[in-house]
Structure 1
């Protein structure tokens, strides 16, 4: 029976491990590129833009019409096809560069679709990387809290026994219990955060399994100490050159100009050119005639759309000015946010972090030996709990703010 139970537990543990997918940041990015449904769906916008270009190149179909005699009043015959019939073929000829302008506008739309797709990739990749760092540091917080909680639960159990025997006051037991309650609250909050970030990571990577992430210590240290290339002004210049969202607004000006040019060309009348064969109803028998038709340009039939297109150009020019100012402001804010987080964390020296762990281990040992009072112990444990969570939060915020800066500049900016 014992062997069977052991086997069942082993199989269950294996199943749990199999359902958990261990992934590095590179693994997450690769899965994102292959499986993200939002990216895969957005790619079709470019395909549809290609189809619009193809459609713009297509001319109107030629038209053919004909007639046959229905009633011959002279010979009192019906459908006298042998002596009275005709046929006409015509083709609409575009004038004023309509097709050229329409194609140019369609190509501009494709460029806009490509820029929108590029920005979507940047936004989603930033969300992926930020989610990754959120998960990493929430997991580290949980590990620390669980370690503290294990020790405190064992201690609380021992105090409960002594309290029941009357050897320790209820006040001391309650003091310890308050720390355990706080640690449990922290654990619940952290677990909820982890659950939310895991769900987001599943959507971003297209994975149906629970994802467990890993960030090696050496890689973490390299990321934390990374510094941006150049100063703030250089970062602003790079953003103006590379930011797809800003470039989209710039190209939108050209796009509106192409549209205005196309609308203006629609005021030019088109030529309808054709040839006609008539067997018996014209001046001559079996005559072939050339037919030419063109609307009389008494007024501009597309004047309203032309005016609207002109206003669209002015509107997009103002929007691009706003986007430039907004982008530069966002880069400045993101850079300062990153620098604040960076400076705050690196005010702590490595020896400070080592001392924190040394004192923590020393407090635990001395409390067991009776060399530290309960009040000093609980005060330190509360301070230690808060400090550890704050340190992990500082590390996380350095990563998050760096990704926000990357999102805006959209080129390699960190060493």
Structure 2
């Protein structure tokens, strides 16, 4: 009795912890709670700090000069009337500070694009997991419906087999169908569990999530078609895909780095003022000081050459990224088109007929109008068909989302 109560409490607790959510609610939780996205935002803040740092001038240097040991009378710290004080400031020439700031700003733009790409990738993962769970749950509903009928049938057959009215092989045949359905159910539940774990991580929701969509929303997702042609999709993808834009911006970033490194070859000037009490030509004289390195060679030439190489590398990476993105868009579009055509190649009347015939087979089998072999053969075919239809629906929606993820701008009506 205590075990029964405990099980009941566990089941009720699990049911209570379930949370039905729409896709919009899942996305809101994702933006608010996703730790990976939050961590990526710190890179943008760090890039802002680099811009601030690049604008800061070097600190002026102050120096004081006085006697520490007088060898004539062997005294220490004989400050006397001979002291000097100097203040110097380094002045950067050749646009070094400006170029460093521009390079830091370019790095921030790269960080923003990295954030945008991560946002699109994670949001796409969320939607794919959401859709996968939804359609897999529909598969479970179909399986549970068939299991309910077959389980009752097996119970009845066991009674008749015990009485000797039905052969044991018929009972075993039905039990095999039940076992097959339970195996299908287990595989689908494992798939749902995997996607749920991903959804929990993405949204930060700890309760069991049950994706919820209306039938109108589902039909709209399935029927959606791109508003433009494949060539236009490629063009828009090149304009909006953050991963590709990152490689384009990398070229500008490399050029900014090259410009900064080249400016570092320009000698800088150190200027300042010096007060001298008695050790100069005049008493309490004030002098100005200027210092500049002698540019006998380009001390930053190696880094300049490296920057030139990075520009060429960025250009090649961009060419490759463009080619890869266009190929991915083509493949994703074709994948969506194949799934779309496959689903809408199925006539709705055929689906209605399939369900009607299945219901008629159940009724006629109860009445003994058809044989066990005919019933089990048809039931197996029916099971495979309805599961395939739900899988096709899922693939239509997911393939559309994969195309969305590449284009990264609304393309469906």
TM-score (norm: length of structure 1): 0.96
Distance 2:281 2:81 in 1: 15
Q: Shift of the alpha carbon at 1:261?
A: 0.5
Secondary structure, aligned partner of 1:229: coil
Q: Shift of the alpha carbon at 1:29?
A: 0.6
What residue number does 2:326 align with? 328
Deviations 1:156-179 (A, max 9, x none): 121122222221112212221221
Q: Shift of the alpha carbon at 1:13?
A: 6.3
Q: Shift of the alpha carbon at 1:284?
A: 1.9
What residue number does 1:47 align with? 45
Secondary structure, aligned partner of 2:20: strand
Of residues 257, 276, 279 in structure 1, which corresponds to 2:255? 257
Distance 1:32 1:198 in 2: 14
Aligned residue runs from structure 1 range 5-404, under 5 A: 15-73=13-71, 77-404=75-402
Deviations 1:266-307 (A, max 9, x none): 111111111111111122221111111111111111111100
Distance 1:37 1:243 in 2: 23
Corresponding position: 1:413 with 2:407:
no
How many residues align? The count is 412
Secondary structure, aligned partner of 1:292: strand
Deviations 1:220-263 (A, max 9, x none): 11111111011101111110111010000000000000000000
Distance 1:330 1:10 in 2: 51
Q: Shift of the alpha carbon at 1:79?
A: 2.4
Distance 2:279 2:154 in 1: 114
Distance 1:7 1:192 in 2: 28
Distance 1:361 1:376 in 2: 14
Q: Shift of the alpha carbon at 1:6?
A: 12
Deviates more, 1:170-179 or 1:206-215: 170-179
Q: Shift of the alpha carbon at 1:46?
A: 0.5
Distance 1:391 1:373, change over 3 A: same
Distance 2:365 2:300 in 1: 88
Distance 2:246 2:7 in 1: 57
Distance 2:365 2:130 in 1: 38
Distance 2:4 2:115 in 1: 53
Secondary structure, aligned partner of 1:289: strand
Distance 1:329 1:5, change over 3 A: closer
Runs of 4+ aligned residues of structure 1 deviating over 6 Å after TM superposition are 4-13
Distance 2:71 2:128 in 1: 88
Q: Shift of the alpha carbon at 1:72?
A: 3.6
Distance 1:216 1:348 in 2: 22
Q: Shift of the alpha carbon at 1:11?
A: 7.1
Deviations 1:20-71 (A, max 9, x none): 1110111101111111111111111100000000001011100001111223
Deviations 1:169-197 (A, max 9, x none): 12212221221111010011111111111
Indicate the RMSD between aligned Cα atoms, in angstroms.
1.8
Distance 1:374 1:126 in 2: 46
Gap regions ≥5 residues in structure 1? none
Distance 1:105 1:190 in 2: 51
Distance 1:160 1:198, change over 3 A: same
Q: Shift of the alpha carbon at 1:8?
A: 9.1
